[in-house]
Amino acid sequence: MFAHAVRVSWGDCDPAGILYTPRVFDYCTQALELFYRTVLETDWVSMTRLHNMGSPMVHASCDYLKPMPPDLELAVEVRLDRLGESSLTFALSGRGRDGAEHFRARYVACITDFAAARSVPIPEPMRRRAEAYMRLTSA
């Protein structure tokens, strides 16, 4: 399972001393950016600058299960739940070192041709890597 380590910083928290709600989306986006780079072997900058395409999020939601105080170490785990013709559906979770799940998020990304302003099929090399990851993590 791909996971990105983050530590909740003091500046990420609200006056109540728990993680400011929108920061979870930053953590998830950071994890997905690294997932694309390491697992799918593509990066968002190259997709945009070299190929005029991208992978914008068309849906994002989150359930907050446990408070996240400053200095909490989280592993943001990335599962790939579904591959569509042009979409990838991700399930992410933030787990503490003790294994406790602090949040659960769902993201849907759509492979997009920016010049045509429309969705396009997932490029074959990316699809193959995504399918391999799904097989590896479903066992």
Kindly list the domain boundaries of the chain, sorted by start residue: 2-138
Q: What value does the mean pLDDT of the chain take?
A: 95
Rounded CA-CA distance 123/60 in Å is 23
* Average pLDDT score over residue span 19-23: 94
Start-to-end CA distance of the chain, whole Å, equals 11
Confidence at residue 51, expressed as pLDDT on a 0 to 100 scale: 86
What's the rounded mean pLDDT across residues 86-93? 98
Q: How confident is the model at residue 104, as a pLDDT?
A: 98
Q: Is the domain covering 2-138 a CATH 3.10.129.10 domain?
A: yes
Q: How far is CA 137 from CA 69, 116, 124, 125, in A?
A: 29, 34, 20, 19
- CA–CA distance, 24 with 3 (Å, rounded to integer): 14
Per-residue pLDDT band for 131 (boundaries 50, 70, 90) equals very high
pLDDT for residue 130: 97
